[in-house]
Structure 1
Amino acid sequence: MPADIAQLIRRPIAPTDAAPLAELLNAIEVVDVFGEYYSEEDATDQINDPVLDLERGTVGVFDGDRMVGFSSAAHKLHVEDVHRVTVSGGVHPKYRRRGLGAELLAAGVASAEALHAIHHPDLPLAVDVQNNALNDGARACYQAAGMTPVRWYSHLRHPLGAAVVDLPLPDGLVLESHSVDNDADFFAVWSDAVLDRWGGVPPQLEQWRAFLGWSAFCPDLSFLLRDVDSGTAAGMLLTFSWDADTAATGVRDANVQRIGTRRAYRRRGVASALIGQVLRVARDAGFDGVNIEVDADSPSGSNGLYERAGFTMDRAEVRYSLNP
């Protein structure tokens, strides 16, 4: 039997907690279905995010050496209007329906407020959480805390194989794979593109480098389109693939984590060409599918772009927000 909730240990998550965090996340995945499994190395990458304040922004709940719940609040370093702090968390299925989820959500909101007071006290604060649209327990917990749905996201999957459609590159653009030499161009494109997205803020170079340092990053499945005449980087796409997902499911998928086009090059087929390229290369490399998360409310109509390329809906997620 699980220990009494009051007897569980609460403390900030430490760098040495990667193994129990991975075990907890994998137990949560079985029930809540985010399409994500974790190795200890993957959990280490999450804990070592350079902008995550472990002491002020995280809480781990332990039953002995076993992590049975957690919350984390990820603040933004540079913000122009609203400081959106993203709170993540979860409770082991065997420890649910005992108030621990509500406790951890409250802890995450308190962490968000504390970090906001340190970094952006003069700006409005929004606390965001995101979860599977079918998770009724999470939705009830968020609503009880006064959170309301503000955004919907589609998780799409392409089966590759014969469903891959060849698309030509736009005139005047050439394709490059990611390398050390052009990484700055990838970063520059993303820095421009993300500003037009809901809640988008300028990315930080330190966090970018840490992200691309993850073992799951696939440089041979990450592409840049460059203007032949000016040399300007027009669009980019970054792909990751997690071995823990493959080990747990037997399915080896590529996951597009970033895709963006500079404003001056939009409506020229840049995103379509990048998607077509990653589909072809992933198919030829023996992947089973390609996944991507799409903002269902995006003004760019990106859902239609992916549907035309052969993607179909896998699951939906909802983002809830609170303005404390």
Structure 2
Amino acid sequence: MTIWSHLHAADVPAWTELTNLLARVDRTEEFYDAEDLAEELSEHGFTAERDSWALWEGDQLVGYGQLRVRESHDGEVKIYLAGGIHPDYRRRGLGQQLMDQMEARGVEVAQERHRGAPAVWAVSGGVEGASVRPMLERRGYAIVRYWNEMKRWVTDEPVTVPEVDAVLISPTDEHQEATRLAHNEAFRDHWGAGPRSVAEWSDTWTARSNRMPLSTLALGADGSVLAYVLVGQWVPEEAYINLVGTVPTARGRGLAHAALLRTVSLAHGYDYVALDVDSASLTGATRLYEKAGFAQAKVTCSYHRALPAIP
């Protein structure tokens, strides 16, 4: 008999085990340490008792779900649904039941926080052939975006960082707010992106996975953040670039390119540097990364389904 509850701190070891199993079976390669998942339970705007689900068979965690909410710059609300079912317990209707509960909670959140705003449920479709895709399509979801995961292998060859009209440095805590403001400005014209509040950005900036010594800021003469590359680490061999951006007024000056290469030059001891990019980016981000030596490793997709109108 499956027992339904919510994720708690005591569940983190079992949650970690299931998450990393799914990363292998579903070929997402999204691995997490227990400490990283524990942080997610205290994220701003997330209440585990209402926004998470845990499915148990005896003392084994066989499924979990999470819900997060973000508002886009265009006013659309995105309700992100994430989770998974242990491969030995699939095709028993648990995934459908989990989606039913997460979608219902999404409607509640839209009513509570964003009444009258257009809203969508958003779910990752994983890689081609992922078992979740047929289920999502039966529920009325459709692919809205493809994402390119790109990698650059770290070698002994020196990395040349071009000179630019900016100072390239690794960020410190004093740059937290300036980088938040730069990010909100840089991503204003990016599909699906939304403004980060001070509290949300604090979660991002202070996460244990961050690797600020590998990250790079491009500062103007007045000390303002013009471009940034922020790096995290979840597995020993990979330096993962979480965010890359340039404020609109500084685009076309090669700042992000130089910042990327500086970060690559600092990635000694890693096998490769990786990132994900919107395949239809209006700023030509894929070309930027290819110029910096990155090559496509795999493709994932995002599914959306519009919520019914909420008066």
Give the TM interval when normalised to the shorter protein. over 0.9
Structure 1 position 270 matched with structure 2 position 248: no
| Stretch of structure 1 that moved more, 217-226 or 75-84 | 75-84
C-alpha spacing 1:78/1:220, structure 2 compared with 1 (3 Å): same
Moved over 4 A (4+): 77-80, 162-165
1:51 corresponds to: 45
Q: Deviations over 1:197-220 (max 9, x none)?
A: 111111021122122222221110
Aligned with 1:94: secondary structure? helix
TM-score by length of 1: 0.90
1:87 and 2:81 equivalent?
Answer: yes
Query: How far apart are the structure 1 equivalents of 2:179 and 2:73?
Result: 21
8 Å CA contact 1:14, 1:54 repeated in 2: yes
Aligned residues: 307
Q: 2: CA distance between counterparts of 1:315 and 1:226?
A: 33
Task: Note closer, same or farther for the CA distance 1:164–1:84 as it changes in structure 2 (3 Å cut).
Answer: farther
Give me the whole-angstrom Cα distance separating, in 2, the residues matched to 1:182 and 1:260: 15
Matched, 1:314 2:297: yes
Cα deviation for residue 12 of structure 1 reads 2.0
* Map 1:220-259 → 2, pairs under 5 A: 220-228=213-221, 230-242=222-234, 245-246=235-236, 252-259=237-244
C-alpha distance in structure 2 between counterparts of 1:169 and 1:287, whole Å: 25
Q: Give the drift of 1:108.
A: 1.7
Shift of 1:164: 6.3
Q: Residue 60 of structure 1 contacts residue 67 of structure 1 at CA under 8 Å; is this kept in 2? A: yes
Encode CA deviations 1:98-154: one digit per residue, 9 max, x unaligned: 111122122221121111111001101111001322234211011011000001101
Q: Distance in 2 between matches of 1:77 and 1:320?
A: 17
Partner SS state of residue 24, structure 1: helix
Q: For each residue in 1:260-288, what CA deviation from the matched residue of structure 2 results, as whole angstroms up to 9, or x when unmatched?
A: 11110011111101111111111xx3211
* Aligned-partner SS, 2:174: coil
Equivalent positions of 1:29-44 (< 5 A) are: 29-44=23-38
- Residue number in structure 2 paired with 1:200: 193
Does residue 184 of the first structure (1) align with residue 167 of the second (2)?
no
**1:15, distance to aligned residue in structure 2 (A):** 3.0
Q: Contact (CA 8 Å) 1:18, 1:47: kept in 2 or not?
A: no
CA RMSD of aligned residues (A): 1.7
1:23 is matched with 17
> What CA deviation, in whole Å up to 9, does each residue of 1:39-96 have, x standing for no partner?
2111102222222122222211111232111111101368652111111010111111
Paired AA for residue 294 in structure 1: V
Paired with 2:228 and 2:249, the residues of 1 have a C-alpha distance of: 14
- Unaligned regions of 5+ residues in structure 1, if any? 1-6, 247-251
Name the one with the larger helix percent.
1
The structure 1 residue matched to 2:149, chosen from 146, 151, 155, is 155
2:265 equivalent among 276, 280, 299:
280
Contact 1:219–1:238 at 8 Å: present in 2 too? yes
Say yes or no: does 1:103 pair with 2:88. Answer: no
Q: CA deviation at 1:187?
A: 1.5
Structure 1 residues 318 and 78: CA distance shift in structure 2, 3 A: closer
Shift of 1:155: 0.6
Q: Which residue of 1 aligns with 2:285?
A: 302
- Normalised to the residue count of structure 2, the TM-score between the two structures is 0.94
Deviates more, 1:75-84 or 1:110-119: 75-84
Match of 1:115 in 2: 109
Counterpart CA distance in 1 for 2:72 and 2:142 is 25
8 Å CA contact 2:176, 2:205 repeated in 1: no
- 1:159, CA displacement in angstroms? 0.5
Instruction: Give the counterpart letter for 1:237 in structure 2.
Output: V
Partner of 2:78, secondary structure, is strand
